[in-house]
Amino acid sequence: MSNQPADPHISINVNGETRVVPPGLSVKGLLVHAGLDPARVAVELNRLIVRREHWETTEVQDGASLEIVTFVGGG
């Protein structure tokens, strides 16, 4: 038995890159943690699109794979 605390981070894949983040983040919490404007993105979690109304209740688990697409305006 180890006396060391569990690693306070999880490993996820975001847009093809491995990232280490705190556990227990919701999709919305992850966006805020990453400094992204939630109003300007779409999120796919483990190959399923997550609707905005579920962002606060959908937890990002260790090993999750996300695709985050940022909308860019212009003309």
What's the CA gap between 9 and 46, in Å, rounded?
19
- CATH code of the domain covering residue 48: 3.10.20.30
Q: Give the predicted TM-score (pTM) of the model.
A: 0.84
* pLDDT, tens digit, 9 for 90 and up, residues 1-29: 556 556 689 999 999 999 999 999 999 99
Domain count of the fold of the chain? 1
Q: Domain for residue 43, yes or no?
A: yes
- Paired residues of 26 in beta bridges: 59
Mean pLDDT of 24-35: 96
Range of the domain at 18: 10-70
Give domain status of residue 20, yes or no.
Answer: yes
Split at pLDDT 50, 70, 90, the class of 72 is confident
Mean pLDDT of 52-60: 98
Q: Which residue has the higher pLDDT, 48 or 72?
A: 48
On the question of pLDDT at 52 being above 70, the answer is: yes
Cα separation values, 25 from 4, 30, 57, 73, Å: 23, 6, 9, 28
On whether residue 24 sits in a domain, the answer given is yes
Decide if 75 is inside a domain: no
Alpha-helix runs per DSSP H in 1-75: 27-33
Question: What DSSP string describes 57-68?
Answer: T-BPPTT-EEEE
Residue 34 belongs to a domain: yes
